[in-house]
Structure 1
Amino acid sequence: MHYRIHIRGHLDSGWQDRFAGLGIEQQETGTTLLVGTLPDQAALYGVLLQLIRLGLVLLSLETSEAPGGKKGA
């Protein structure tokens, strides 16, 4: 499953390993997108737990079957 997790504040790319390898994209609006594929729901829970532990604010969470929002075959 492909995820786009939008959080408040900017994260440095050095944090990527803490978020199951999701890409870190800083936005001009002072927010960060964590983008990529996670193997299962347990991996998603791990990423969300890291957000909680770091005191980060979750703004949105989007899922799709494939990158770019296209449904996989």
Structure 2
Amino acid sequence: MHYRIRINGHLGPSWREWFELLEIVEEVAGTTLLYGQLADQAALYSVLLKIRNLGLTLRSLETSEDEEESK
């Protein structure tokens, strides 16, 4: 399953290992987009838990079966 997770604030690429190797894109609107494929629901929960533990604000979460739709 492919995911697009948007959070408030900017995270640099150095955070990639923390977020299950998701791609990290800093957006102009002051948000960060984390996107890519996660192995299963447990991996998704792990990413969401890290977001919460870091005190980040989750803006949106989108899922897609197709990789092209997740970009």
Give the structure-2-normalised TM-score. Answer: 0.95
1:6: which partner in 2? 6
Based on CA coordinates, which of the two structures has the bigger radius of gyration? 1
2:58: which partner in 1? 58
1:20: which partner in 2? 20
Moved over 6 A (4+): none
**Letter in structure 1 aligned against 2:21:** G
Give the structure-1-normalised TM-score. Answer: 0.92
Question: How far off its partner does 1:9 sit?
Answer: 0.2
The count of aligned residue pairs is 70
Q: Distance in 1 between matches of 2:66 and 2:53?
A: 28
2:48: which partner in 1? 48
Deviation sequence 1:26-57 (CA, Å, 0-9, x none)? 00000000000001000000000000110000
Structure 2: tracts of 5 or more residues without a match = none
1:67: which partner in 2? 67
Q: Secondary structure at the match of 1:29?
A: coil
Structure 1: tracts of 5 or more residues without a match = none
Q: Indicate the RMSD between aligned Cα atoms, in angstroms.
A: 1.1
Q: Distance in 1 between matches of 2:68 and 2:62?
A: 11
Question: How far off its partner does 1:68 sit?
Answer: 2.4
Q: Distance in 1 between matches of 2:67 and 2:27?
A: 19
Q: Distance in 2 between matches of 1:68 and 1:26?
A: 19
